[in-house]
Amino acid sequence: MTVGKVYSLDMGTGEKKTKAQIQREQVLSLLEEADKNNLETSNKDINNGINNESFSELYEESLKKSDFKVGDVVKGRVVSVEDDHVLVDINYKSEGFIPKSEFRLVEGQGQIQIGQELDVYIDRIENDDGMMVLSKDRADIIKIWKDISKVVENEEVIEGTVITKVKGGLSVDIGVKAFLPGSQIELRPVRDLNNYIGKKYQFKVIKFNQKRGNIVLSRRVLLSQERKSLRSRTLSEIKEGAIVKGVVKNITDYGVFLDLGGLDGLLHITDMSWNRIKHPSELVSLGSEVEVKILKFDQEKNRVSLGLKQMTEDPWEKVSKDIQIGDVLKAYVVSLTDYGAFMKLKEGIEGLVHVSEMSWGKKIKHPSQLLKVDEEISVKVLGVDQDNHRISLGLKQLQENPWVALKEKYPVGMKMEVAVKSITDFGIFVEIEGEEVDGFIHVSDLSWTEHINPKSDYKKGDTLQTIVRDVNIDEERFSLSVKHLQEDPWIGVESKYPPGSRHEVKVKKLMDFGVFVELEPGVEGLIHISELSTQRVEAPDQIAKIGDTLKVEVLNIDMEAQKIGLSVKQVQLRGNNEKASAEEEESSTDQKPAAQKNKKTESFFGRALKASLGVKPSSQEETKDTTSDSE
């Protein structure tokens, strides 16, 4: 930067002259006046060779012998403020200039005034334009460095004003420029540094380099020390149930962190208001002071749970008196979820309309199909749980229940044609013409005898002939059946196939655990592998093949489960026993005539012996003898 000479206007001649020229002429004028007043002294001086030119030389020499030199710090006075520099008079033959950038700016405003005195550093005695080059920064650094060193040695605190943002932090005026890193501003990271510009704070010097004029400050160190002191005091005073004040330090989606005085506490979003809120920022802002209640204090972990809504009366304490089951109330839609809509009934009281309570017949995938947030509607109270702060509400209950009419319109046993609407593993949903509700056919009601897989045996759009099994109003279920169009083949099975009876059956299916056989169309039974033979059987196909006819015996029958247990082994065992009995009976028949003959002989000789002895036979013996004789 080039600075031109500064001129003054000579009032006598009107010519522009430098400050040095004007001073030289003033000195010469005084010397001439002295010559007139003291002629003798003047003659002596002239005789000694002193003239006006020699006075000029003496003046110049006196300036050269002045104490000003590079590196000096001297007092100066601001005489002019230009666009890019400031002129300062230090009683030298010419003014010195200082770059304007060395003067502090706060929010773009300068703090320089004409006539202001300041210390300056002589950087150069004269530049190419005869001007002295000065520096305020260097003078300030030299002046303040001793003070800063003393502050550092004594671990004292220094005050400064934040000037502007710089890369990585803030520039601070503590008499000289100092750097405040962004990480040292607060205990937590700071997003907006503009809030600090122009404000005064106290700092701790954490690093300095005298040669480079580099000073690094920290505010965080002081805040941390202050926080520790406050923390000790807060911990000694804090207790559950106490009412305290805290400053909002951080806001998250789930709650707010408050500084209670060196100790942080969490105000959870659920403890901020009796009403439902979407975000904590609806109630508090950063830096605001909040009065809260201490709900819980964990001394081991130093964790504090806070409550804001607990500062007011719990509206749920009187809810059982104000809201009764069956009441129809006006409510506002607060929020919509996949499973229902939360409704505001009164200040601090909310209820839920479950998605299943929104419509009698129409399937509601999401509440937004019927409702909008902030919409006012009428609801019916279905249940009140005061202890758990829950109220069940209904929307469809304000409309006529179509299931009552359906039950009258479709009596049990009524036959009807339906179309398949959707298929599941456990059954088929069907569309009933002219109705908003769907009917349902359970997989067990598709066939009496066959094992049906709904997904493979049916497709959407198929028409089916069905019969009404039940219309359940309470469970809102319309049950239909296909198999009940025919008579149950199991009717009379118990009397036709009692346990112990034997039948010929046809093999229908082979399984690892046994053989399924058909007793008659629609009635099947199971021969377990252990009942296939009196011998050990490794696999059913060793004994039977599909289509074979087997003779079985009924072991047991379960009419409710429609199961019949059969056995081939029992037939075999009974056959063997019957054969053995027949053989034994035949053998006994062959031995009977000889026994009777012996018996007759024995009877004849007995009578003869008794007669010879004069013993009269009894009437029974006479009868036997008569019978024997007749034989």
Answer whether residue 204 is part of any domain. no
Under DSSP, the state recorded for 92 is S
Answer whether residue 186 is part of any domain. no
Give the end of a domain, one of 311, 346, 371. Answer: 311
Mean per-residue pLDDT over the chain, rounded: 81
Instruction: Compute the distance between CA of residue 216 and CA of residue 181 in angstroms, rounded to an integer.
Output: 8
Model confidence pLDDT, tens digit, residues 490-529: 888 889 999 999 999 999 999 999 999 999 888 889 999 9
Question: Taking 50 as the threshold, does the pLDDT of residue 631 lie above it?
Answer: no
CA atoms within 13 A on the CB side of 560: 0
Question: Taking 90 as the threshold, does the pLDDT of residue 40 lie above it?
Answer: no
Answer whether residue 179 is part of any domain. no
Domain span including residue 347: 330-398
245 shares its domain with 306: yes
The whole-number pLDDT of residue 561 equals 84
Residue 351 pLDDT level (bands cut at 50, 70, 90): very high
What is the distance of C-alpha 410 from the center of its chain? 48
Name the nearest CA neighbour of 427 among 364, 366, 487, 469: 469
Answer whether residue 103 is part of any domain. no
CA atoms within 13 A on the CB side of 605: 5
The whole-number pLDDT of residue 468 equals 93
572 shares its domain with 601: no
Question: Taking 60 as the threshold, does the pLDDT of residue 27 lie above it?
Answer: no
**Concatenated DSSP letters for 225-249?**
HHHHHHHHHHHHH--TT-EEEEEEE
Answer whether residue 507 is part of any domain. yes
Total structural domains within the chain: 6
Give the end of a domain, one of 346, 373, 398. Answer: 398
391 shares its domain with 463: no
Work out the percent of the chain whose per-residue pLDDT is above 70.
80
Answer whether residue 439 is part of any domain. yes
Please report which residue ranges of 426-482 form alpha helices under DSSP H. 454-457
User: Span 134-154, mean pLDDT?
Assistant: 81
Instruction: Compute the distance between CA of residue 269 and CA of residue 308 in angstroms, rounded to an integer.
Output: 9
Strand partners, 216: 179, 207
Best mean pLDDT range from 155-159, 524-528, 620-624: 524-528
Helical (H) or strand (E) element with 217: strand 214-218
Instruction: Compute the distance between CA of residue 482 and CA of residue 443 in angstroms, rounded to an integer.
Output: 10
287 shares its domain with 268: yes
542 shares its domain with 558: yes
Answer whether residue 189 is part of any domain. no
Question: Taking 50 as the threshold, does the pLDDT of residue 11 lie above it?
Answer: no
Instruction: Compute the distance between CA of residue 398 and CA of residue 395 in angstroms, rounded to an integer.
Output: 6
The whole-number pLDDT of residue 30 equals 56
Under DSSP, the state recorded for 114 is T
Q: Per mean pLDDT, which range of 15-19, 159-163, 447-451, 489-493 is the poorest? A: 15-19
Name the nearest CA neighbour of 162 among 202, 190, 196: 196
Who's near 400: CB < 8 A, 6+ residues apart?
A: none
Confirm if 476 and 362 have CB atoms less than 8 A apart.
Answer: no
User: Span 290-302, mean pLDDT?
Assistant: 87
Name the nearest CA neighbour of 509 among 548, 558, 563: 548
59 or 421, higher pLDDT: 421
Q: Which tokens belong to 99?
A: 């770059």
In SS3 terms, 300-330 reads as CCCEEEEECHHHCCCHHHHHHHHCCCCCEEE
User: Span 8-12, mean pLDDT?
Assistant: 46
Confirm if 517 and 504 have CB atoms less than 8 A apart.
Answer: no
User: Span 139-151, mean pLDDT?
Assistant: 80
The whole-number pLDDT of residue 223 equals 86
477 shares its domain with 517: no
Q: Which tokens belong to 250?
A: 């951080």
Give the end of a domain, one of 485, 512, 546. Answer: 485
Instruction: Compute the distance between CA of residue 622 and CA of residue 417 in angstroms, rounded to an integer.
Output: 89
602 shares its domain with 564: no
Answer whether residue 174 is part of any domain. no
| pTM of the predicted structure, to 2 decimals | 0.41
Question: Taking 80 as the threshold, does the pLDDT of residue 538 lie above it?
Answer: yes
Helical (H) or strand (E) element with 148: helix 136-153
342 shares its domain with 383: yes
395 or 8, higher pLDDT: 395
Model confidence pLDDT, tens digit, residues 109-118: 557 788 888 8
Name the nearest CA neighbour of 341 among 349, 333, 332: 333
Count the residues in the chain: 631
Question: Taking 80 as the threshold, does the pLDDT of residue 1 lie above it?
Answer: no
**Concatenated DSSP letters for 375-389?**
-EEEEEEEEEETTTT
**Concatenated DSSP letters for 120-131?**
EEEEES--TTSP
User: Span 216-244, mean pLDDT?
Assistant: 83
User: Span 399-403, mean pLDDT?
Assistant: 83
507 shares its domain with 568: yes
Cα first-last separation, the chain? 168
Q: What is the CATH number of the domain that holds 406?
A: 2.40.50.140
